[in-house]
Structures are given as structure tokens and as C-alpha cells.
Chains A and B, each alone.
With several copies, the nearest count.
Chain A
Amino acid sequence: MWRAIHRLGSPAIFYAVAGRLQPWCWALAIALLLAGSLWGLVWAPADYQQGDSVRILYVHVPTALLAQSVFVLLAAAGGVFLVWRIKLADMLAAAIAPFGALMTLLALVSGALWGLPTWGTWWVWDARLTSMLIQLFLYLGVIALRGAYTAAESGARASALLALVGVVNVPIIKFSVDWWQTLHQAATFSLVRPPSMPASMWLPLLVMVAGFYAFFVALALTRTRSEILRRESRTRWVRERVARTTGKAAR
């Protein structure tokens, strides 16, 4: 098990494995997203109270969940990089941070768009919304800190440390609805309770969530691979690989 992890930690091996996984992930992501969109946006019923605006749910919830998961992954990768100095972890972190920021932004925007018809305002300063906004700034900080250092290695370590410190915000987002009485909806999915939505709504939602996660995995694989190529461009295995593919093309 330990050896397997270390083997995967080698960029060359990860590059090859990810290359094989990547098309499957993309295919799965596209299939799930298509199915989920059709189901959620076309076939699922409109809400009796909210009308068609409820369909924002199918974008809002997956992006909100991803925004948090990506940060946790970012912090985990940071920890691995700082402790064991596995470069691959940092390449992964560099590859996924902008995507996490984008998801956070999308969750905020979709939430705001949804807020206008349901709460009558774009924005309120409730705990969940605020902690989500903070999350966006944490992402921006992690990204900016990496770029601010001239030495790439130091920038990577600094942003890993910040991700580790900033991860405390994730539980705050998660539990904000329980700790403070707020406007925002409490969790729908739980391991111990049945969902509080009708199945015709939460089933397509589940498909959308799965689709977004598959999309994330596919994108992470692809971006990490290109990050590997960029950073390892001078190592032997990359040069050999490039020689092989260009040789093939020449033939």
C-alpha cells in the first residue's frame, strides 16, 4: 500500500496512469452532466412555491459542495507536500486551486441569483454566505501567495501552509447553518436522515453532484498532467516521451 502511494507519487508514473484514466473520467463526467441537466432542468417538476427558479439548485449545490471539497483536497495536498516533499502533491495543488476558486464564485453567484426570487435580496450577511465569501478570499490568497514568491519552491510551500491554516473555514461553512439560525437551508443529504426533498428533485440533484465531481476529477487529471510536463520538461523521461511522440508523428 505504502509503496503503491510512493510509486504514484512519481510524476512519470502518475502521468502514465492518469493518461489512461483521463478519457474515462471525461466520458463519465459528460454523460452524468448531460443526464443530470436534462433530468433536472427539463423533466423535474417546478417547485410549488418557487417555480422554475428552483432549478438553480442543480448548479448551486454541486458547486457549493465542490468549493469545499477542493479546499480540503488542497490542504491535504499541501500537508503531503510539506511533510513528505512529494512534488506531485504540489503540482496537484497548483492545478486545482483556480478551479476551486471558480466553483466558489459560481456557488456565490448562483446563490445570489437564487436569493433574489426567494429571499427578495441578492445578499444577506448570514453566516453561511459570509463564510463562503471568506472561502473565496482564501482561495485568492492561496493563489496570490504562490505567485508572489520569485522562487517557485518557496511559493509552493508558502501556499501549502496557508491552505493548511485556511482549512479551518470549511467546518465553519459546514456547520454555520446549525450554529446560527439563518435564512439559509440546512443540509439535505445526510447519512442518518432521509432527504427532505421529494425524490423527483433529489435524484437528479444527486446525478448532477456526481457529474460535477467526475468533471472535477477529469479536469484535475488533465491539468496536473500538463503541470507535470511544464515542470519536468527537462527531465529525461519527458524528453524521451516527447521524442517518441514527435518521432511517431514524423513517421
Chain B
Amino acid sequence: MSFRLEARGLDCERDGQRLFAGLGLSVADGDCLLVSGPNGSGKSTLLRMLAGQLPPQAGELAWCGRVLRHGARALRANLLYMGHAPGVAASLTPLETLAWYQALRGERGDDDARLAALEDWGLGEGAGIPAGQLSAGQRRRVALARLTLTSAPLWLLDEPFTALDRDAANLLEERLSAHVRAGGAVVLASHHVPALTVAMSRLALGESPRPDEVAV
């Protein structure tokens, strides 16, 4: 099924500093967009806006042509957002965490599939111990195992390569390419330019003087 997330005329000012103004972009099935820019240029801010978490000072979001009032559910039902914090509770095991994330989308799933996803990400052994006892990179891998399980077509990922070792980074690049090829869409904020096997557009914040015309 085809979909499209559009942003029109987004303005963002934080503490009197204009991060971007009149920014428009559009992401549809089969698109991959890399948001780059120096530290503090507003990458995380933009991703949070696209997820409907942070209301823009001006401008609007539209999902499949319908304008969204703040964080409307039509968008959320199709969205997987991953921020700076991986969203892995310290006292729950990776399996429990994944089960909860599936349930939040109304899916039951089963433990076999979840275990397979964790093994996929090299966490077979850690699947049953509380995540507080995992290393930074292992916790990030638990979060990434959601990518294997989810049915959401649009992924917004804020620096997903943080704390990953080479193997995991390669695996992630592979998964992103596969998702886009299968008709999903990815928006990625990263300082690292991933090696994907699909076409990737780039949006550079904080550098180009007029980011208005950027569109995918």
C-alpha cells in the first residue's frame, strides 16, 4: 500500500534561535532520507516534529494527504520512531520489552518470533536477563530488534548507529536497504553516512541557506 508523509512550511525556533524555517519535505513508500548537519543544527528536533511529538511553531504535517492535528493516530499507527534513548527498560528482559512494543501496536506476536529477532541481532543469550545488565550497544540492539518485528512502514531513526559495533552497523544498513526495497520508508538522522544499496536522498540542516526547497 502506498503512503506519504508530507511536511509543509515547518518553522522551528528554540530559545530565540531559528533552526529552520519554511522547511518542506515529503517521504513516500520506497524513499530513504538522510538528515545530516552539524551538532545542534536541529536533526533530532526535526525528527520529533515529524513523529508528531513536538508541535511546530508554524507549518503542518499531512499523512496521505490529510492534515494531522498534533500527533494524530493515523500517523502513529504507521510509525516506528527511535530517539536518542533506546526505550529499553532496565528491569525488563529483552523478550518482555519486545512483547510490550508489539502489544502497543495491538499485535500479540509470539515468543518464538521475538527470540528469532533477538538472535538475528546477536542477542540470543541475553534474551532472558534484565536489560539493565546489558552494555550500551547491547541495549541498542534490543531496540533495533523491533525493526525485525514491526509492521510499521515508516521508520524515523535518530542516530541509530550510536554504540553499535561494526557487525551490528552492517546488519542495520542491510535491514534499512531491505525495508526500503520492500516498499517501506526511512528517515534517518546520523553523522555517519550509511552504505545502503538503495537510493538515498539527503537533507542537510544548518548549512544550506535556504532549506525550503528540499524535497524527496
Q: Determine direct contact between A and B, CB below 8 Å.
A: yes
How far apart are the CA atoms of A17 and B130 in the complex, in Å?
37
Chain B residue with Cβ nearest A85: B55
A150 touches B132 (CB 8 A): yes
B14 touches A151 (CB 8 A): yes
B180-207: contact bitstring with A at CB < 8 Å (1 yes, 0 no)? 0000000000000000000000000000
How far apart are the CA atoms of A150 and B14 in the complex, in Å?
11
User: B88 to chain A: closest CB distance in Å?
Assistant: 14
How far apart are the CA atoms of A76 and B102 in the complex, in Å?
40
Verify if A248 is at the interface (C-beta below 8 Å from B): no
Chain A residue with Cβ nearest B14: A151
Determine the chain B residues whose CB is within 8 A of the CB of A150 once the complex forms: 90, 130, 132-133
Determine the chain A residues whose CB is within 8 A of the CB of B130 once the complex forms: 150
Determine the chain A residues whose CB is within 8 A of the CB of B15 once the complex forms: 151
A234 touches B16 (CB 8 A): yes
User: B61 to chain A: closest CB distance in Å?
Assistant: 15
How far apart are the CA atoms of A234 and B16 in the complex, in Å?
9
CB neighbors of B among A141-161 (8 A) = 150-151
How far apart are the CA atoms of A170 and B132 in the complex, in Å?
36
B112-139: contact bitstring with A at CB < 8 Å (1 yes, 0 no)? 0000000000000000001011000000
Chain A count of residues within 8 A CB distance of the other chain: 3
CB neighbors of B among A40-96 (8 A) = none
User: B91 to chain A: closest CB distance in Å?
Assistant: 8
Chain B residue with Cβ nearest A157: B55
Determine the chain A residues whose CB is within 8 A of the CB of B14 once the complex forms: 151
How far apart are the CA atoms of A151 and B15 in the complex, in Å?
7
How far apart are the CA atoms of A151 and B132 in the complex, in Å?
10
CB neighbors of A among B122-165 (8 A) = 130, 132-133
How far apart are the CA atoms of A103 and B130 in the complex, in Å?
33
CB neighbors of B among A104-154 (8 A) = 150-151
User: B81 to chain A: closest CB distance in Å?
Assistant: 19
User: B93 to chain A: closest CB distance in Å?
Assistant: 12
How far apart are the CA atoms of A234 and B18 in the complex, in Å?
12
Determine the chain A residues whose CB is within 8 A of the CB of B133 once the complex forms: 150-151
A211-241: contact bitstring with B at CB < 8 Å (1 yes, 0 no)? 0000000000000000000000010000000
Determine the chain A residues whose CB is within 8 A of the CB of B132 once the complex forms: 150
User: B97 to chain A: closest CB distance in Å?
Assistant: 16
User: A230 to chain B: closest CB distance in Å?
Assistant: 12
How far apart are the CA atoms of A151 and B48 in the complex, in Å?
15
How far apart are the CA atoms of A234 and B15 in the complex, in Å?
12
How far apart are the CA atoms of A151 and B55 in the complex, in Å?
13
How far apart are the CA atoms of A107 and B164 in the complex, in Å?
56
Determine the chain A residues whose CB is within 8 A of the CB of B90 once the complex forms: 150
How far apart are the CA atoms of A222 and B15 in the complex, in Å?
25
Determine the chain B residues whose CB is within 8 A of the CB of A151 once the complex forms: 14-15, 133
Chain B residue with Cβ nearest A231: B16
How far apart are the CA atoms of A150 and B15 in the complex, in Å?
9
User: B58 to chain A: closest CB distance in Å?
Assistant: 11
Determine the chain A residues whose CB is within 8 A of the CB of B16 once the complex forms: 234
User: A76 to chain B: closest CB distance in Å?
Assistant: 22
How far apart are the CA atoms of A150 and B91 in the complex, in Å?
9
How far apart are the CA atoms of A163 and B183 in the complex, in Å?
47
Given contacts A150-B132, A151-B14, A151-B15, 5 further A-B contacts (CB under 8 A): A150-B90, A150-B130, A150-B133, A151-B133, A234-B16
Contacts A/B (CB < 8 Å), 8 sampled: A150-B90, A150-B130, A150-B132, A150-B133, A151-B14, A151-B15, A151-B133, A234-B16
| The 8 residue pairs across chains A and B that have the minimum distance between CB atoms | A150-B132, A150-B133, A150-B130, A234-B16, A151-B14, A150-B90, A151-B133, A151-B15
